[in-house]
């Protein structure tokens, strides 16, 4: 037993050398061994393999280490967060769409309710008018009589046929009286007018009064009514054999209504033959009446200047505006390009040209003859002449220095006012140096005459040519005086009356009446005064604004006066009775200043205002 145990031990101890020796030299002396040691070696090898098996995964544990696990968790968390954010964004977007659709639906429902309410109001008003008309016609309430059987209504078929026409005449008379037409156009008795109304409004020959007015019968029904009985003209009025003068006048008035809605000449195209002459007369009536009924509304806002806009002037023919600003530039605006763009064209107006030469603020502007040139006066004491470029010029072209045509030097301080006379081809300027100069821009020595050299009347603030006598200029001064100068004699003619009190004598602007020898002045004490150039007396004085009146402008026809003030308002006045007909809040204040200039277009329906907020606004 001990031998076997020692042999086993020896075999166990010699397992590795034997195995290795057999591997190296299988023919060695120890190559032939009993099978027992070989089995024992295999078992030992298996035991060693079994003992080393748990250590194998530790050699390749890099993917399941603690940093790796943390990295995996962080990656999954970030992916989850990204998906969560995407889902929340999608949810918010869907919520916004739902809210928008709900708002649209609510708006449509409100509009529907409002329209239904208006329809009910109109139906009720129509019922009341019918009842009133029936009561006035018969002296009693006939609402119950309308529900009589048809057998009882047959003998009185002619009054039933007359009702729609007479009711239409009553309504038409009422509407015409509301808009202020005279009685000469209210008596429409001729066949021509009736045929015109019969074609335009089916209710003229439509249903009987018992039927609702919303569904009139077709024209065929009206013609059958006319053909079934006697002619309607003999039933309605015994004076139908009158001449056609009344109908012609009425046709002209209806053409005026149509042309007022669809533009000039719209009614003329619809009337053939004699109606064209009536259309011309109607257009004259339109021009005279539209002046009293027009309400000016803001149309364009011009945003390009970087500082307050001091002066404005329109092209005499085209829809073109020139503006001068404290940023030292002049800008040319073509309003036609904006009028044919999108509905919100106020944000799309851009200047087509920018004039740059002044070394300081531009304080005054004047448009030259036929809109081919313009003049500007600035804080740099110069008056500069410019050529108006092509109105279709590309705004991004290179600057052409040849646009500046001339520089009129002579003033020694800021040029506050400019005025140009097309008939005399003269330019007038007033400066803070106390002088008023008359220039011939096309002459080699442009300065023609100088007034107030010694500052005997103070510092001039504004200058204007007298429209009724172009050989005269009217000049306002900071001491409150207004003088008339004769350009031929180069002498002062008259000092206009001054009613100002101490501390409020400053005159900001003077303009001349377009057709009468009247000068109009705007004062720092919120008043506007009308002065007679012949007698020098004050015709009228009124408090016009809540703050200093800074600018004035008159329309070429002498109907309107427009004033601007530092109270942020533009007011429109009738020149004949000097009453305010409209007030527009146009600009915002900046350093206690609001509106610096206003202008009327000489030939088109445009009004412009310039403000300290660097905006120019156009009203139509």
Which of 160-169, 188-197, 488-497 shows the lowest per-residue confidence on average (mean pLDDT)? 188-197
Residue 136: per-residue pLDDT: 86
Q: Per-residue pLDDT averaged across 375-400, rounded?
A: 87
Write out pLDDT tens, residues 565-615: 999 999 999 998 889 999 988 788 888 899 999 999 998 989 999 999 999
Helix axes 15-24, 35-52, angle to 10 degrees: 100
Helices marked H in 139-190? 150-153, 157-178
Rounded Cα distance between 435 and 457, Å, is 10
User: Do residues 276 and 593 make contact, with C-beta atoms less than 8 angstroms apart?
Assistant: no
Q: How confident is the model at residue 156 (pLDDT cuts 50, 70, 90)?
A: very low
Bridge-based pairing state of the strands 527-532 and 538-543? antiparallel
Close Cβ partners of 440 (under 8 Å, ≥ 6 residues apart): 425, 426, 427, 446, 448
Instruction: Write down the pLDDT at residue 175.
Output: 73
DSSP 499-551: -PPTT---EEEEEE-SSSSEEEEEETTSEEEEEETTT--EEEEEE--SS-EEE
Q: What angle do CA 174, 176, 180 make, to 5 degrees?
A: 115
- What pLDDT is recorded for position 4? 44
**Are the C-beta atoms of residues 553 and 561 closer than 8 Å to each other?**
yes
CB atoms within 10 A of CB 534: 10
Tens of pLDDT, residues 7-48? 443 344 444 434 444 344 444 444 333 444 444 444 444 434
Average pLDDT, the chain: 74
Joined together, the tokens standing for residue 7 give: 């042999």
Query: Is 440 a residue whose pLDDT tops 60?
Result: yes
Give the mean pLDDT of 77-82.
94
Task: Tell me how far apart the alpha carbons of residues 151 and 159 are, in angstroms, rounded to a whole number.
Answer: 15
612: Cβ contacts below 8 Å, ≥ 6 apart: 308, 309, 587, 589, 590, 591, 593, 594, 595, 596
CA-closest candidate to residue 378, choices 400, 345, 356: 356
**Residue 284: per-residue pLDDT:** 55
Per-residue pLDDT, 411: 93
| Strand 373-378 relative to strand 362-367, pairing | antiparallel
Structure-model confidence comparison of residues 587 and 503, the more confident one: 587
pLDDT value, residue 506: 87
Measured CA to CA, the distance from residue 449 to residue 457 in angstroms comes to 17
The confidence score (pLDDT) of residue 265 equals: 39
**Of the listed ranges 190-194, 334-338, 455-459, 544-548, the one predicted with least confidence:** 190-194
Q: Which residue has the higher pLDDT, 239 or 106?
A: 106
Confidence check: pLDDT of 275 > 70: no
Residue 287: the pLDDT is 57
Question: What's the pLDDT at 143?
Answer: 44
Enclosing H/E stretch for 580: strand 580-585
For the entire predicted model, the pTM comes to 0.54
Tell me what pLDDT residue 40 has.
42
Q: Is pLDDT of 428 > 90?
A: yes
Q: Which residues contact 536 (CB under 8 A, 6 or more apart)?
A: 494, 495, 496, 497
Selection from 136-150, 494-508, 605-619 with the highest mean pLDDT: 605-619
Region 264-281: mean pLDDT is 42
**pLDDT value of position 71:** 92
pLDDT interval class at 401 (50, 70, 90): confident
What is the average per-residue pLDDT within 177-185? 56
For the CA atoms of 437, 441, 446, 451, the dihedral, rounded to the nearest 10 degrees, stands at: -10
Question: 605-608, long-range: CB within 8 Å, 24+ apart, which pairs?
Answer: 605/294, 606/314, 606/319, 606/321, 606/335, 607/296, 607/562, 607/570, 608/312, 608/314, 608/321
């Amino acid at each position: 037993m001990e031998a076997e145990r020692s042999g086993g031990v020896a075999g166990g101890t010699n397992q590795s050398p034997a195995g290795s020796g057999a591997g190296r030299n299988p023919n060695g002396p120890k190559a032939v061994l009993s099978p027992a040691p070989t089995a024992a070696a295999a078992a030992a090898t298996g035991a060693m393999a079994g003992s080393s098996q748990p250590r194998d995964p530790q050699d390749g544990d890099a993917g399941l280490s603690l940093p790796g696990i943390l990295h995996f968790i962080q990656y999954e968390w970030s992916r989850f967060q990204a998906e969560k954010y995407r889902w929340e964004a999608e949810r918010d977007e869907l919520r916004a769409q739902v809210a928008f659709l709900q708002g649209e639906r609510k708006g449509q429902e409100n509009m529907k309710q409002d329209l239904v309410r208006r329809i009910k109001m109109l139906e009720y008003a129509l019922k009341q008018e019918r009842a009133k008309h029936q009561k006035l016609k018969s002296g009693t309430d006939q609402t119950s009589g309308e529900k009589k059987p048809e057998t009882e209504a047959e003998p009185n078929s002619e009054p039933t046929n007359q009702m729609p026409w007479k009711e239409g005449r009553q309504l038409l008379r009422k509407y015409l009286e509301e808009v202020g037409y005279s009685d000469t156009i209210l008596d429409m008795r001729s066949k021509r007018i009736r045929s015109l109304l019969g074609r335009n409004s089916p209710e003229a020959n439509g249903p009987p009064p018992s039927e609702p007015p919303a569904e009139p019968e077709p024209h065929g029904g009206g013609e059958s009514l006319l053909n079934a009985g006697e002619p309607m003209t003999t039933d309605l009025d015994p004076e139908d054999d009158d001449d056609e003068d009344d109908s012609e006048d009425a046709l002209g008035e209806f053409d005026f209504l149509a042309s007022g809605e669809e533009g000039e000449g719209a009614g003329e195209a619809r009337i053939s033959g004699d109606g064209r002459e009536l259309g011309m007369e109607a257009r004259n009536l339109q021009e005279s009446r539209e002046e009293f009924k027009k309400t000016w509304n803001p149309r364009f806002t011009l945003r390009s200047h970087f500082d307050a806009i001091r002066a404005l002037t329109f092209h005499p023919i085209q829809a073109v505006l020139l503006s001068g600003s404290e940023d030292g530039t002049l800008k040319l605006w073509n309003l036609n390009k904006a009028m044919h763009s999108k509905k919100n064209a106020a944000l799309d107006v851009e200047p087509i040209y920018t004039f740059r030469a002044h070394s300081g603020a531009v304080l005054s502007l004047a448009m030259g003859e036929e809109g081919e040139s313009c003049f500007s006066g600035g804080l740099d004491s110069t008056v500069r002449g410019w050529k108006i470029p092509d109105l279709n010029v590309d705004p991004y072209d290179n600057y052409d220095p040849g646009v500046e045509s001339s520089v009129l030097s002579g003033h020694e301080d800021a040029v506050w006012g400019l005025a140009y006379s097309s008939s005399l081809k003269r330019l007038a300027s007033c400066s803070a140096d106390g002088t008023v100069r008359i220039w011939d821009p096309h002459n080699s020595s442009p300065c023609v005459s100088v007034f107030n050299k010694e500052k005997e009347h103070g510092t001039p603030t504004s200058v204007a040519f007298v429209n009724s006598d172009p050989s005269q200029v009217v000049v306002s001064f900071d001491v409150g005086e207004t003088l008339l100068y004769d350009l031929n004699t180069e002498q002062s003619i008259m000092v206009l009356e001054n009613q100002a009190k101490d501390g409020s004598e400053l005159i900001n602007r003077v303009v001349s009446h377009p057709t009468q020898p009247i000068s109009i002045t705007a004062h720092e004490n919120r008043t506007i005064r009308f002065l007679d150039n012949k007698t020098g007396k004050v015709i009228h004085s009124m408090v016009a604004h809540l703050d200093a009146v800074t600018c004035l402008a008159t329309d070429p026809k002498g109907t309107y006066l427009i004033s601007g003030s530092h109270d942020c308002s533009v007011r429109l006045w009738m020149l004949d009775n000097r009453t305010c007909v409209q007030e527009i809040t146009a600009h915002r204040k900046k350093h206690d200043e609001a509106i610096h200039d206003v202008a009327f277009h000489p030939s088109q329906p445009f009004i412009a205002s310039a403000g300290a907020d660097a905006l120019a606004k156009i009203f139509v």
